Amino acid sequence: QVGLLDLELNQLTKALFLALVALSVVMVTLQGFVGPWYRNLFRFLLLFSYIIPISLRVNLDMGKAAYGWMIMKDDNIPGTVVRTSTIPEELGRLVYLLTDKTGTLTQNEMIFKRLHLGTVSYGTDTMDEIQSHIINSYSQVHSQNSGNSTSSTPSRKPQSSAPKVRKSVSSRIHEAVKAIALCHNVTPVYESRAGVSGETEYAEVDQDFSDENRTYQASSPDEVALVQWTESVGLTLVNRDLTSMQLKTPGGHILTYYILQIFPFTSESKRMGIIVRDESSGEITFYMKGADVAMSTIVQYNDWLEEECGNMAREGLRTLVVAKKSLTEEQYQDFESRYNQAKLSIHDRNLKVAAVVESLEREMELLCLTGVEDQLQADVRPTLEMLRNAGIKIWMLTGDKLETATCIAKSSHLVSRNQDIHIFRPVATRGEAHLELNAFRRKHDCALVISGDSLEVCLKYYEHEFVELACQCPAVVCCRCSPTQKAHIVKLLQHHTGKRTCAIGDGGNDVSMIQAADCGIGIEGKEGKQASLAADFSITQFKHIGRLLMVHGRNSYKRSAALGQFVMHRGLIISTMQAVFSSVFYFASVPLYQGFLMVGYATIYTMFPVFSLVLDQDVKPEMALLYPELYKDLTKGRSLSFKTFLIWVLISIYQGGILMYGALLLFESEFVHVVAISFTALILTELLMVALTIRTWHWLMVVAEFLSLGCYVASLAFLNEYFGDFHVTGSHYLFSHFVSADVAFITTVTFLWKVSAITVVSCLPLYILKYLKRKFSPPSYSKLTS
């Protein structure tokens, strides 16, 4: 990935390249195109090549690596991993944050809260009633079967074989709990103890089924919550393999069910099913559970499901509808043959398999509606409020019901208390979408809640209008979103607004959204590490995003902008000096400084102080978190723009001109003094300019400044020995004399005052201007730090 800052620097580098060509052409033109002018043109291109900041890429990449290291070493956001070294600055320029709900804003720790049977509802305070019903129903079954010594396992409920009469509450509870205990993909796992394998054989069932030694594993935390709840009311899943599962009744008896078929949950079907055969009675039952939108057309007619789903969703509960269908042996055999045939077909296999399964999914008996609660993560509310104050617009994209999503949006303060919520009515045609968009257009400053289906219709007919309206909202909630829709929304925002987007999620269904965004953040959650591994940054909790953006994002962007412009300034100033030098000496294409000085200038003489800008900060972390409004300034991109670039160009031209003309004016008899004076003044000017740019001093910055100065002073002595016997005519003569014959001159008072005078003239006006700017037009953050 390429960040916005890199793209901006590329534009500036192109401008510098054009400046290089233009300057070279001007020099050749002023020369009068004498002799082999094209050779002189290439000479000038090489002489002024320092205008192109080749070291910029190296400095920036090293800086990005340093930012990544700082983020991972921050004790306030433990466990954060930086998986990219190219876009840490993007964290400081985000306008849209697209977040998942489950596991991102919430803990993804499901707690069973509600069981609804249509006529009666059970909450957390009445679960003991369910437990007593289960104990009674199984004790009755066992007492009836105690005379039959054929099996210790009970048969199915006696009332199920009775004619169609209204079932008692007890029998309905029993059927519902049994369905929840059987219809899932959960596997009980036992820790191995004292050499006994956790994978218990049937013979070892009794000795290893201790409750404290059992843990449940499943791909979905919802399923684990349901199975843990059935265990709490007395019906415990104790064993499962590919072909069977075993339940333990409150009386300690083991019920065995053979798994005949299993239809796993998919994000398209939004339901899962299982066909089991009771070992004792041989009865075959098809159980199914899923989202109410998928199940409402499958179950028999009822007048309460839709209303109760809405009620539970308004409480913030995740709902699942559970249903069953009893199958005869003939019905199952017919289904199995058609199912196997469909699985063997070569063309349209998935469609044919789905069609066969759908033939079973008709007129199913509705057993119950379950509600599980997913609690908010710690500090989600203050974090969302901070992001909102920072000018970041938050979009919540979730697969949950509209009511659940709306409830979470309110409870998490994604939508502030005084804001209205506009719920976009379901639309299916172009006309409906047009009317609903017009109704929405009349609303002001209200959050939008829209379902995935309605969104699809709007984007199909009125893409531009919808995105324009939605972008004006302080918050948007998209519910019933598929993973592909999530990624599509990210791309729409990028395309229509041109602003930087960030996606944050925790599951495999968020990966497409995370990868589509300019900056992807993954949370290591209960759903595995797919999102965390696919993202650019991985965090452990949602609240860490506040510090990641406000502190590290801000610092990374500000530092890289300063570093990039300073590296350009470093090349421009020496190129200006070369241009002045050539102009004075009749546009001769002769280098001012030779080999080692030019290499040393960009490396040991100035590298440490310039790179130390990656430690600079304009605002303390505590201030950046306390006043998130400061983040708004960053999104405008004022730290690096053509305006700031032109200011640095003017500074470079001024300083380069002063240094060169000053050295030419002050040299006496020997021309070699120009090189000595101008180069020393140039190094001092660069060190002073770094000091001028720094806003908050760090002890390493001071070390870098003195280290560079020390390296320069020491190199005079070393180069003296190295080039002592080096005598060549022409321009090389200058350099050899600068480091050998000129050592005596360098140590004189004359040299020192001349260098000091030039350096003061080149830097003092800039220091005065900076002081005046701070005095009369201070930056917004200075009012907070004073």
Whether residue 101 is annotated as binding a ligand: the answer is yes
Distance CA 591, CA 399 (A): 67
Whether residue 453 is annotated as binding a ligand: the answer is no
- Dihedral sign from CA coordinates of 215, 219, 222, 223: negative
SS3 of residue 80 by DSSP:
coil
Whether residue 710 is annotated as binding a ligand: the answer is no
| Token duo for residue 343 | 């699985």
SS3 of residue 357 by DSSP:
helix
Whether residue 289 is annotated as binding a ligand: the answer is yes
Distance CA 306, CA 292 (A): 8
* Helices of type H across 49-154: 54-72, 127-145
Ramachandran bin of 270, using left for φ above 0, alpha for ψ from -120 to 50, beta for the remaining angles: left
Distance CA 464, CA 492 (A): 9
Distance CA 526, CA 108 (A): 7
Contact 600, 679 (CB under 8 A): no
Pairing of strands 500-505, 519-523: parallel
Contacts for 733-736 with beta carbons within 8 Å, 24 or more apart?
A: 734/594, 734/671, 734/672, 734/675, 735/593, 735/594, 735/595, 735/596, 735/597, 735/675
Distance CA 506, CA 104 (A): 6
What is the DSSP track for 679-693?
HHHHHHHHHHHHHHH
**Which DSSP category does 525 fall into?**
B
What is the amino acid identity at position 732?
A: H
| Token duo for residue 761 | 């003239």
Whether residue 576 is annotated as binding a ligand: the answer is no
Whether residue 102 is annotated as binding a ligand: the answer is yes
Contact 94, 549 (CB under 8 A): yes
Whether residue 285 is annotated as binding a ligand: the answer is no
**Which DSSP category does 710 fall into?**
H
| Angle formed at CA 576 by CA 574 and CA 579, multiple of 5 degrees | 115
User: Which residues are known to be catalytic?
Assistant: 100
Distance CA 628, CA 620 (A): 12
Whether residue 398 is annotated as binding a ligand: the answer is yes
SS3 of residue 385 by DSSP:
helix
Query: In 3D, which of 88, 7, 12, 81 has the Cα closest to residue 554?
Result: 88
Whether residue 100 is annotated as binding a ligand: the answer is yes
Whether residue 509 is annotated as binding a ligand: the answer is yes
Distance CA 440, CA 469 (A): 8
Strand order across the 393-397 sheet: 81-82, 537-539, 519-523, 500-505, 94-99, 393-397, 475-479, 446-451, 420-423
Q: Cβ of 306: how many Cβ atoms within 10 Å? A: 12
Whether residue 480 is annotated as binding a ligand: the answer is yes
- Dihedral sign from CA coordinates of 171, 173, 174, 178: positive
Which residues make up each annotated binding site for ATP?
100-102, 223, 265, 289, 318, 398-400, 480, 486, 509-510
Binding-site residues: 100-102, 223, 265, 289, 318, 398-400, 480, 486, 506, 509-510
Positions at the binding site for Mg(2+) = 100, 102, 506, 510
